[in-house]
Structure 1
Amino acid sequence: MYTKSILMSSLLLAACSMAQDTTTGSSSQMTGPDGSMVSVQVVQVSNMNASLKFYPEEIRAEAGSMVQFQFYPRNHTVTQSTFDRPCEPINNIMPNVTGINSGPMPPVNNMMKVFTIMINDTRPLWMYCATGDHCEKGMVMVINAPQGGERTLQSYKALAARVSENGTTTSTGSANGTVPGGTTEPSTGSASSVVDSMVGATGVAAALFAGFALLL
């Protein structure tokens, strides 16, 4: 009980800190169930103006850390794809890979929906919103983009803009994901979904605590 009380206090403090700056992303260190420090980063899915954008669009997250997606007005998703086919769920392309997919997250009674993932390794995770044409309009992001080379967020976004109505890319070239030497870098970075919940404006700490409770 004592350990859980300390953990809850840490989560409450961290949530207050996160709430101060969700337009540019934020992160906090908190004590995990084994006593180690666990990093939790917040990614805002859209904003109060219903922009078709993630805030931020690119982050780095270490293995063992968590990323919490907070959904703002309109219906959005957080769905994993490959780099080369940015607006398709990764399991449609690679059936042996489950991938991350929050499913539709429409607002309900002014409550903020939250989807949290645990990062299992530092390979790239290419993510997009699968609602309507949001992906084609640039609602994409990346966790742990490759360092150097042509596989950048801007290249991924350019590929998404070329997706046709049937969900396939309509052009190739330098933005097709081929890295120097003619090889392609694996896009099957690993993460696990932890929490799929709905919280009010002051309920972020509860969602974070629920994620850690699964680890206790």
Structure 2
Amino acid sequence: MLDTVFNPTLFATAFTTILVIQDPLGAIPIFLSLTSRQTHAERTRSARQATLVSFAVILAFAIFGRYILRFLGITVPALQISGGLLLLLVALELLTDKTDEHPDPDAVVTNAALVPLGTPLLAGPGAIVAAMVAVDSASDPVVGWVSVTAAIVATHVVIWVALRFSASLHRILGESVIQVLTRIFGLLLAAIAVQMMADGVLAYVDTIMGA
């Protein structure tokens, strides 16, 4: 019965891809920088708000992305190829140290939990595209929505834990360990991006051959 609405493979793939893209460990130094003047209670509230904003944005695109594509006349293979290219750029940023810039807390004039923490730091283009592609890769829309929604929920539980206990994690792991893990995440994401582009090209060729 569960198999008719939930796909464990799709869940695992979507969870891994979205989690690697959002990189909660890599976001810890930026989160600590933007909330450096907040009290413990305020920082806890910021972690919760940033997680909820990211969750809402990604879930909205995961659910309504199919209709957006249909309205714009974009095929799933085209989204896979373009999404793979976008994810590859994100992976290169993780591998080349381009994401380690710490924003100046003095420059933050809006609620940091909403912008830039919730979006685009966590709910960026890469995570949004990955969620949309994951849903569209399912043979049944209901299975896609349920499996990917579960993956998004699980991902944001991890994100909330990372941000909620960011100070302790940063102190325990240290800057060097976080940087090493970020590079590993970047390598995994690069492999996922290449596989996504390859699948998109094969699907596009099958479409042409079948036409």
- Band of TM-score, shorter chain: under 0.3
TM-score, structure 2 as length reference: 0.27
Query: Which structure has greater strand proportion?
Result: 1
Whichever structure has more helix as a proportion of its residues is 2
